[in-house]
Structure 1
Amino acid sequence: MYFKMNYLAQGKLCPPKELLLMRLKGGIFLKLKHILKRAFQSITVASLTVSLALPVSASSMDPGEFAKQNGAYTPAGNPSVTIDHSAIAARKKLKDKDVLGPVDPAYTMDVSYDSENHHVSGTMNVTFKNNIMDNLENLYFNLWGNAETFAENGGGMDVANIKVNGKKAEYEMNGTSLHISGLSLKENKPVNVEMDFEVNLPEQQDRFGWYKDTVSMGNWFPILSVYDDEGWNVDPYYPYGEAFYSVSGSYDVTVTTEKEQVIAATGTEIGQPTVHGDLATHRYKAFNVRDFAMEMNPNYHVISTKVNNVDVNVYYSDEHAKYADALLESGAESIQLFSEKFGKYPWPELDVVTMEGWFGGMEYPQLVMISFSGERSLEWTKSVNAHEIGHQWFYGIIGDNEYDEPWLDESFASFAASLYDGELDSLEVPPVPDEYYHLSSPVSDFTARASEGGINYYYWMIYGYGSSTLNDLRQELGDSVFYEAMRSYFKEQKFGVSSTEEFISAMERSSGMDLSEFFNSHRVFVSDQQ
Structure 2
Amino acid sequence: MACLMGLAVTLLVACQPIGAPPLSTPASVEEFIEGASGVGDPIFPLLGNGGYDVQHYTIDLSVDAARNEIAGATTIRSEAIHPLRSFHLDLAGLKVEEVTVNGAQASFERSGQELTIIPSSPLNAGALFTTFVTYAGTPTPIEDADLGFVAQGWNWRDGVIFVVSEPQGAMTWYPVNNHPIDKATYTLRITVEEPNVVAANGVLVEEIDHGDRRTFVWEMAQPMASYLTTVVIGDFVRVEETASTGVTIRHYFPPRYADQLTQAFANTDEMLTFYSDLLGTYPFDAYGAAVMPFPLSFALETQTLSIFGLDMATEGVNAHELAHQWFGNAVTLASWNQTWLNEGFATYLQRLWLEHKLGREFLETGMRRYYAMLSAMKTPAPGNVDARSLFSLSVYERGAWVLHALRLRIGDERFRQFLRTYFTRFKDGVASTEDFIAVANEVSEQDLTDFLQSWIYDENLPPIPEGTVSISSD
Q: Is TM-score (shorter-chain normalized) higher than 0.5?
A: yes
Asked if 1:211 is matched to 2:157, the reply is yes
Contact 1:387 1:417 in 2 (8 A): yes
> Equivalents in 2 of 1:432, 1:138: separation in Å?
51
2:462 is matched with none
User: Where in structure 2 are the equivalents of 1:422-501 lying within 5 Å?
Assistant: 422=355, 423-425=362-364, 426-428=366-368, 429-430=370-371, 431=374, 437-444=380-387, 447=388, 455=389, 459-501=392-434
User: Where in structure 2 are the equivalents of 1:345-384 lying within 5 Å?
Assistant: 345-355=282-292, 356-373=294-311, 381-384=314-317
Measured after TM superposition, the shift of residue 507 of structure 1 is 1.4
> Equivalents in 2 of 1:410, 1:101: separation in Å?
30
Contact 1:363 1:392 in 2 (8 A): yes
Pick closer, same or farther for the CA change 1:320–1:501 going to 2, 3 Å: same
The TM-score with structure 2 as length reference comes to 0.75
Higher relative contact order, structure no. (Cα contacts within 8 Å, ≥ 6 residues apart): 1
2:88 is matched with 140
> Equivalents in 2 of 1:277, 1:506: separation in Å?
55
Runs of 4+ in 1 over 6 A off after TM superposition: 432-436
Contact 1:313 1:328 in 2 (8 A): no
After superposition, the C-alpha distances for 1:103-148 in whole angstroms (9 at most, x for unaligned) are 4511122221111111121211111212x32x224433233xx4xx
The TM-score with structure 1 as length reference comes to 0.67
Match of 1:248 among 162, 183, 186: 183
User: Where in structure 2 are the equivalents of 1:335-346 lying within 5 Å?
Assistant: 335-346=272-283
User: Where in structure 2 are the equivalents of 1:25-64 lying within 5 Å?
Assistant: 28=7
- Opposite residue 362 of structure 1, the aligned amino acid is L
> Equivalents in 1 of 2:86, 2:377: separation in Å?
41
Contact 2:236 2:252 in 1 (8 A): no
Report how many aligned residue pairs link the two structures: 395
Pick closer, same or farther for the CA change 1:354–1:114 going to 2, 3 Å: same
- Opposite residue 141 of structure 1, the aligned amino acid is L
Measured after TM superposition, the shift of residue 345 of structure 1 is 0.9
> Equivalents in 2 of 1:181, 1:260: separation in Å?
41
1:9 is matched with none
User: Where in structure 2 are the equivalents of 1:235-274 lying within 5 Å?
Assistant: 245-271=180-206, 273-274=207-208
Gaps of 5+ in 1: 6-26, 29-87, 94-98, 147-155, 227-243, 448-454, 526-530
Pick closer, same or farther for the CA change 1:157–1:418 going to 2, 3 Å: farther
Match of 1:393 among 306, 326, 329: 326
- Opposite residue 403 of structure 1, the aligned amino acid is W
Measured after TM superposition, the shift of residue 504 of structure 1 is 0.9
> Equivalents in 1 of 2:315, 2:99: separation in Å?
44
Measured after TM superposition, the shift of residue 252 of structure 1 is 2.0
Match of 2:126 among 175, 188, 201: 188
Measured after TM superposition, the shift of residue 170 of structure 1 is 3.5
Match of 1:297 among 219, 234, 238: 234
Match of 2:105 among 154, 159, 168: 168
Asked if 1:508 is matched to 2:446, the reply is no
After superposition, the C-alpha distances for 1:56-114 in whole angstroms (9 at most, x for unaligned) are xxxxxxxxxxxxxxxxxxxxxxxxxxxxxxxx985569xxxxx9974451112222111
Match of 1:412 among 342, 345, 349: 345
Measured after TM superposition, the shift of residue 323 of structure 1 is 4.1
Measured after TM superposition, the shift of residue 354 of structure 1 is 0.5
- Opposite residue 354 of structure 1, the aligned amino acid is V
After superposition, the C-alpha distances for 1:34-65 in whole angstroms (9 at most, x for unaligned) are xxxxxxxxxxxxxxxxxxxxxxxxxxxxxxxx
Pick closer, same or farther for the CA change 1:412–1:324 going to 2, 3 Å: same
What is the CA RMSD across the aligned residues, in angstroms?
Answer: 3.1
Measured after TM superposition, the shift of residue 416 of structure 1 is 1.6
Contact 1:213 1:297 in 2 (8 A): yes
- Opposite residue 106 of structure 1, the aligned amino acid is H
- Opposite residue 424 of structure 1, the aligned amino acid is L
Pick closer, same or farther for the CA change 1:372–1:436 going to 2, 3 Å: closer
Measured after TM superposition, the shift of residue 409 of structure 1 is 0.7
> Equivalents in 1 of 2:377, 2:109: separation in Å?
41
> Equivalents in 1 of 2:397, 2:350: separation in Å?
12
- Opposite residue 506 of structure 1, the aligned amino acid is V
- Opposite residue 314 of structure 1, the aligned amino acid is H
How many percent of aligned residue pairs carry the same amino acid? 23
Secondary structure of the residue aligned to 2:317 is helix
Gaps of 5+ in 2: 8-35, 42-48, 144-149, 165-169, 356-361, 459-474
